[in-house]
Amino acid sequence: MEKIDVPQLNVPRIVIIGAGFAGIQLIKRLKNKDVQIVLFDRNNYHTFQPLLYQVATAGLEPDAISFPVRKIFKKYKNVFFRMGTVQRVVAEENKILTDIGELDYDYLVVATGSRTNFFGLDDVQANSMSMKTVAQSLDLRSAMLQNFEQALLTKNLEEREKLMNFVIVGGGPTGVELAGALGELKNHILPLDYPELDVRRMQIHLIEASSRLLPALSKKSSEKSIGYLKELGVNVWTNTAVINFDGEVVVTKGEKSSQILSKNVIWSAGVEGNPIKGVDDAMQPSKRIKVNEFNQLEEFENVFAIGDIAFMPQKDFPRGHPMVAPVAIQQGNLLAKNIIKLVNKDGKLKPFKYRDKGSMATIGKNRAVVEIGKMKYQGAFAWFVWMFVHIMSLVGMRNKAVVLINWTWNYINYDRGNRLIIRKHKRVDSSRQQSEKLNDLDEII
Amino acid sequence: MEKIDVPQLNVPRIVIIGAGFAGIQLIKRLKNKDVQIVLFDRNNYHTFQPLLYQVATAGLEPDAISFPVRKIFKKYKNVFFRMGTVQRVVAEENKILTDIGELDYDYLVVATGSRTNFFGLDDVQANSMSMKTVAQSLDLRSAMLQNFEQALLTKNLEEREKLMNFVIVGGGPTGVELAGALGELKNHILPLDYPELDVRRMQIHLIEASSRLLPALSKKSSEKSIGYLKELGVNVWTNTAVINFDGEVVVTKGEKSSQILSKNVIWSAGVEGNPIKGVDDAMQPSKRIKVNEFNQLEEFENVFAIGDIAFMPQKDFPRGHPMVAPVAIQQGNLLAKNIIKLVNKDGKLKPFKYRDKGSMATIGKNRAVVEIGKMKYQGAFAWFVWMFVHIMSLVGMRNKAVVLINWTWNYINYDRGNRLIIRKHKRVDSSRQQSEKLNDLDEII
């Protein structure tokens, strides 16, 4: 394999895989320090994942929540970005193999994030949609709109029901926010767009295997969110698991053991690490990489993992930290300090300690639940807090402004302006998707 | 073929093929009249084509210049939209055949617009890019950015040159505006994004077969635009024709007879009608449909063609009207009146008379040429006029606001925020593109 052409500088080289929250934050703290940073990502942009569901439900354009990596780092003299897919880590030789060549490193940071976990339900995986990337969210938007166009064309009522019904699996923030956004579409947008269809017949089901929604929030907030969802016409089923989906019928068991007709199933019931070959010894069943309290791999002290991919069992977190942006950002911050210490051979490394800043979810206009420390808000004020936090977290002024305009517009008009099928979604047959899944391990980041 | 399910109303049914400027305008003038309108388009959105080049050059998001058809007509009780591809007109039986079934009509309006004309240069068609749809513009954006990422990876200087050079064929408004936008990218964006590349080596060539650019404008404006392009570092070649492009080398003849190395060739040298089977008798060599001064086909008096697809030779326009938005809009307006007359059997039809409102092109920040009637502007004022006219012509407040924000942002920061490769562009091999081209006739609108 040929070497990747990167300038040879006389400073340690840190290779970072992944331009998510963790990787970006780490690099920000290493700005113009005496290290060379080579960043790999398979995309040339950073994705603000918490708002992917709004791209999927036509509330935002994809460009509003994506930000060019090169633009983030244009004033960083020590950062070299390469768009490529890392195929394998050869930690014994301090190098990585990628689709654009191989590269040596002094320090390696794996920040590859997470991917959807279907828990071995192959049929569900082959036939349902997920929402971890911009492309997947656009596919979901297109599929939803295409199915509504299709519903107009059929006289078969059962077929029409399948096309109009939505099943969302998983009651975490993603599932709850998506269900709420679909509820708003059902109440305010779709009846105007499709006067020929009886949109009241459209069913939205949110199915959660455990006993309640939003496990990271208090029981009160969780109950409040169910109330909000019901107001929007969403059917919530707790203690219910999806065990099969063949593309037309969802089979559940538990409290609601039944079959639901639907061609629109969105799986947000679980995530797992986005693994990478060559560090398999540290890999957990959750596909996360086990690290010590310095985010360091046990076997290789110059290899680190941060963010969703890192599995760091600690006293309060025996099964690892939650796979959320604040953990990734805090680990990025700390690792920057620790790497500087290692490079300068300057003192002991500082262990990671997660400061939980709270959690929040929005269900719809004026309907949100927010918990920050001991403070708990619901309703319109919580909704404004949610919007403020998300806009402030977006990278770049242009994106902030575009999101603000869209939200203001949607707020005033009860509208979603982006219901466009820019590129049609083509359902791939199960066998092909299966083989894509098998290739997935070779195409991480 | 099954019938498409559309309500049977006791009023004449007008079937309109195409949701471009012509079709949209026609429907606006038929709002809630005593006719049933069934609109077909292969997309669920209207595209503002004059700004496609800004999507291609990362200045705007695709959602800003696309507008959902159903949203435009949500208060129109007599409009029924069907997303589908019309395959054939059977004018003798007053019906159309589509990929979603067949449908009878009382009046048919063909408003299928235009497509790129490669004048039989198959190699050029197979290897170059064009910019008539949102998807094509996104492909162009992705290909351009992917080639720059690729240029970083090669040590072969000739290969790098091919990846960084751009050749735009055709000096009409599209070619001139695209060349100007690329010039600005070269001067202000790419050097910051790719400090490792010597962006000064990037060449932008604009090649025009006739003796001058912008033939619809005065000679003075045309010369001014060449001056602006040169300021931005664009090489302009007039009296020069592209005769071959194999994917790596552009062969030209004429004043500049030579070979240019480039993998980025954008063809904007010609358009032709977007034809439709079944009205072949009226088809001209330009693939436009011949109509009389009422936009009516000679053979079938209840079939009309408007906009780019219509070929109406008139005294001042022996070779038909220019294929631009104002003609389409004016023909849509007039046809609405004439159809109402036909329906009501009320008086003689009014012939079409084109009122030329002028023409304009923008080359870059503070650089534009505008001619409205006898008034001619250049420079910063012309540029503001250009922006004002385009923003006012966009459908919808949200789109207007998003475009305004982007332009303001780009103006202040010399920036293009949307340089994202959302879906990678895959170069298809020539043989496949060839077969897609052959299928094209079956997939109009």
Q: Give B201-230 pLDDT, tens digit per residue.
A: 999 999 999 999 999 999 999 999 999 999
Quick one: closest CA in B to A71, which residue?
A: B193
**Cβ B409–A417 below 8 Å, yes or no?**
no
Q: What is the rounded CA–CA span in Å between residue A310 and residue A266?
A: 26
Please say whether the dihedral angle defined by the alpha carbons of residues A54, A58, A60 and A66, taken in this order, is positive or negative.
positive
Q: Token pair 């509820």 is at which residue?
A: A183
Does B44 contact A149 at a Cβ distance shorter than 8 Å?
yes
Closest Cβ–Cβ partner in A145, A396, A420 for B66: A420
Q: Do domains A13-116+272-344 and A122-269+358-440 have the same CATH topology?
A: yes
Q: Could you tell me which of B339, B192, B138 has the C-alpha nearest to residue A79?
A: B192
* Of residues A68, A405, A423, nearest to B419 (C-beta): A68
What DSSP string describes A336-387? HHHHHHHHHT-SPPPPP------EEEEEETTEEEEEETTEEEESHHHHHHHH
> For chain B, what is the radius of gyration of the CA atoms?
22
Band (B412; pLDDT cuts 50, 70, 90)? confident
Chain B's closest residue to A148, CA to CA, is B83
In chain B, which residues have their Cβ closer than 8 Å to the Cβ of A421?
A: 43-45, 83
- For B22, the 3-state DSSP assignment is helix
- Candidate from A44, A61, A82 with C-beta closest to B61: A61
ipTM of the complex: 0.89
**Nearest-CA distance A345 → chain B (Å):** 31
Go through B287-302 and write b for each residue having 16 or more CB atoms within 10 A of its CB, e for each that does not: bbbbbeebbbbeebeb
Closest Cβ opposite residue A74 in set B4, B149, B193: B193
**Type of residue found at B144:** M
Kindly provide the b/e burial profile for residues B9-30, where b requires at least 16 CB atoms within 10 angstroms of the residue's own CB.
Answer: eeebbbbbbbbbbbbbbbbbeb
The architecture that CATH gives domain B13-42+84-116+272-344 is 3-Layer(bba) Sandwich (3.50)
Which residues lie across from B255 on neighbouring strands? none
Q: How many CB atoms lie within 10 A of CB A211?
A: 12
Q: Does domain A122-269+358-440 have CATH number 3.50.50.100?
A: yes
**Contact status, residue B403 vs residue B418, Cβ threshold 8 Å:** no
What is the fold, at CATH topology level, of the domain defined by A13-116+272-344? FAD/NAD(P)-binding domain (3.50.50)
Measure in Å the smallest separation between the Cα of B110 and chain A Cα atoms: 22
pLDDT at B266 over 50: yes
Tell me the CATH number of domain B122-269+358-418, given options 3.50.50.100, 1.10.3720.10, 2.60.120.10, 3.30.470.20.
Answer: 3.50.50.100
Reading chain A (445 residues) residue by residue, the pLDDT tens digits are 899 999 999 999 999 999 999 999 999 999 999 999 999 999 999 999 999 999 999 999 999 999 999 999 999 999 999 999 999 999 999 999 999 999 999 999 999 999 999 999 999 999 999 999 999 999 999 999 999 999 999 999 999 999 999 999 999 999 999 999 999 999 999 999 999 999 999 999 999 999 999 999 999 999 999 999 999 999 999 999 999 999 999 999 998 789 999 999 999 999 999 999 999 888 999 999 999 999 999 999 999 999 999 999 999 999 999 999 999 999 999 999 999 999 999 989 999 999 998 999 999 999 999 999 889 999 999 999 999 999 999 988 889 999 999 999 888 888 887 899 987 777 544 333 433 333 333 333 3
Cα torsion angle, B64, B68, B74, B76, sign: positive
- What residues of B are in contact with residue A138 (Cβ under 8 Å)? 422-423
The Cα of B215 is separated from the nearest Cα of chain A by a number of Å equal to: 33
For residue B6, the distance in angstroms to the closest alpha carbon of chain A comes to 9
| Average pLDDT for chain A | 93
Size of the A and B interface in Cβ pairs below 8 Å: 140
pLDDT in tens, B80-98: 999 999 999 999 999 999 9
Domain ranges of chain A: 13-116+272-344, 122-269+358-440
Answer for the pair A271, A256: CB distance below 8 angstroms, yes or no. no
Q: What is the mean pLDDT of residues B135-161?
A: 95
Would you call A68 and B193 a contact, using CB atoms and an 8 Å cutoff?
yes
Contacting residues of A for B154, CB less than 8 Å apart? 5
Mutate to test the interface with B, among A70, A98, A150, A154 (most CBs of B within 10 A): A70
- Looking at residue A427, its pLDDT comes to 58
Return the residue of B nearest to A154 by Cα. B5
Rounded Cα distance between B180 and B246, Å, is: 25
- Mutation to test the B interface, candidates A44, A66, A102, A160, most B Cβ within 10 Å: A44
Q: What does each C-alpha distance from A111 to A47, A281, B209 come to in angstroms?
A: 14, 17, 52
